[in-house]
């Protein structure tokens, strides 16, 4: 695996550490600054694929929601007709 070096100013580290702290609190993790940077670079590397996958899941979810809605409407129609 390739290794990279990154030079950051103390001020940049301090600011980034604030993001790491917030991220860790929100996600229930205990990432170090290096782990957080690595994670975000990995997320950038898969962002396009993830976006395409999310769009596919969204479409499938909408299709299923429409089917469920149509079934609910038909059931209600049948119930109301039965009350006549």
Q: Mind listing the pLDDT tens digit for each residue in 12-65?
A: 999 999 999 999 999 999 999 999 999 999 999 999 999 999 999 999 999 999
- Confidence bin at 1 (pLDDT 50/70/90): confident
Q: Cβ distance 39 to 19 under 8 Å?
A: no
CB-side neighbour CA atoms (13 Å) of 75: 6
The two structure tokens encoding residue 57: 């899941």
């Amino acid at each position: 695996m390739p290794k990279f070096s990154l030079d950051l100013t103390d001020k940049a580290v301090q600011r980034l550490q604030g993001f790491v702290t917030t991220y860790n609190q929100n996600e229930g993790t205990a990432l170090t600054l290096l782990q957080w940077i690595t994670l975000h670079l990995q997320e950038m590397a898969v962002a396009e694929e993830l976006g395409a996958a999310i769009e596919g899941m969204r479409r499938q979810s909408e299709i299923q929601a429409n089917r469920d809605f149509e079934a609910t409407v038909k059931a209600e129609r049948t119930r109301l007709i039965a009350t006549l």
